[in-house]
Amino acid sequence: MVFLEILILISAISVTLAPSLIRSALFLMVTFLLCGLFLASIGAELLALLFLLVYIGAISVLFLFVIMLIQLTRNQIRQYLITTVDVEEQTSFEIAVAVTALLFITILTFIIFFTLSYSFPISYNFSTILKYSDFGAHLYEISAVYSLGVALFVDYWFALLITVFIITAASFGVIIVLK
Amino acid sequence: MPNKDKSDTFECGFSTFSDTRSAFNVQYYLTAVLFLIFDLELALFIPWAPIAFTIGAFPTVIILIFMGLLGLTVYLERTIVHNSFEKY
């Protein structure tokens, strides 16, 4: 499991360090794939499949499409950052690495904590995590899709409704731009 | 013996009509974005299936609101966007 997380971090940092934008997008696909594998390893099969279908199948392909459409090189973007945001070249590189690492560590922590809180509805602190470090095994007792459904449609139904309204607003925006 | 015709790429059995890296309307890209949004919305339908008739009608009510908004979006897409595509 830790091996997978280290691989996710390496590929996420490679996204920022890759020499060309196409390679960045490919490394992003690798990151999504590894995140899907990570989710599968902690027992969230549906989310793992959604990572494969939605993130790699649709969003990454869309990113590749955008890169093809606007033929920018990484140097042009870097130049843009240096001239308009007024950062030095070395600093921009360091900021990129730090931001990516922080983002992915935060996301992974959230995933782990949410999984723990669903499988063990007791107060979770660090000693609890250490005690139930085999939480993946307990998740198989109930279907992951079922528990996700209960979480989405019963526990967090209001958040789901807000999400649906936001998604609808986004699609209205696309429709208005398309018009 | 390799010659120009032999090493050519073909387009449905014909010689290629033009360069494949041609410019096309940005509306196609935006339609792809619309597809992404629908993709995300439909992915949220999946967790509803196992709990649909097990823990009361509440999840079904939420999914009906969901479907209503999705239907409204599809209706707007068909009326506004589809008509604007007729020009091309």
Q: Does the beta-carbon distance from B46 to A179 stay under 8 Å?
A: no
| Residue A126 pLDDT grade (very low, low, confident, very high; cuts 50, 70, 90) | very low
Average pLDDT over residues B37-65: 86
ipTM for the predicted complex: 0.71
Residue A104 to chain B, least CA–CA distance (Å)? 21
Task: Tell me the CA distances in angstroms from A165 to A55, A145, B38, B73, one per residue in order.
Answer: 21, 23, 13, 11
Q: Tell me which chain B residue has its CA closest to the CA of residue A152.
A: B47
Cβ separation A160–B59 shorter than 8 A: no
Q: Give pLDDT tens digits for B48-60.
A: 888 887 778 888 8
Cα distances from A19 to residues A14, A15, A22, A95, B60, in angstroms, run 9, 9, 9, 17, 49
For the stretch A21-70, pLDDT in tens is 888 899 999 999 999 998 888 777 888 888 898 888 888 888 888 887 77
Confidence at residue A141, expressed as pLDDT on a 0 to 100 scale: 55
Distance separating alpha carbons of residues A53 and A38, to the nearest angstrom = 15
- What's the mean per-residue pLDDT of chain A? 77
Report pLDDT for A171: 87
* pLDDT at residue A129, rounded to an integer: 47
Pick from A168, A94, A173: nearest CA to B73: A168
Token couple for A150: 């209960």
Distance CA A52, CA A29 (A): 9
Q: What is the pLDDT of residue A68?
A: 79
Residue in chain B nearest A151 by alpha carbon: B47
Q: Among A152-161, B46-55, B66-75, name the most confident range.
A: B66-75
Residue A45, token pair as written in the block = 């099969």
**Contact across the interface for B51 and A58, Cβ inside 8 Å:** no
* Cα separation, B53 vs B58, whole angstroms: 10
Task: With CB atoms and an 8 Å threshold, state whether A179 touches B81.
Answer: yes
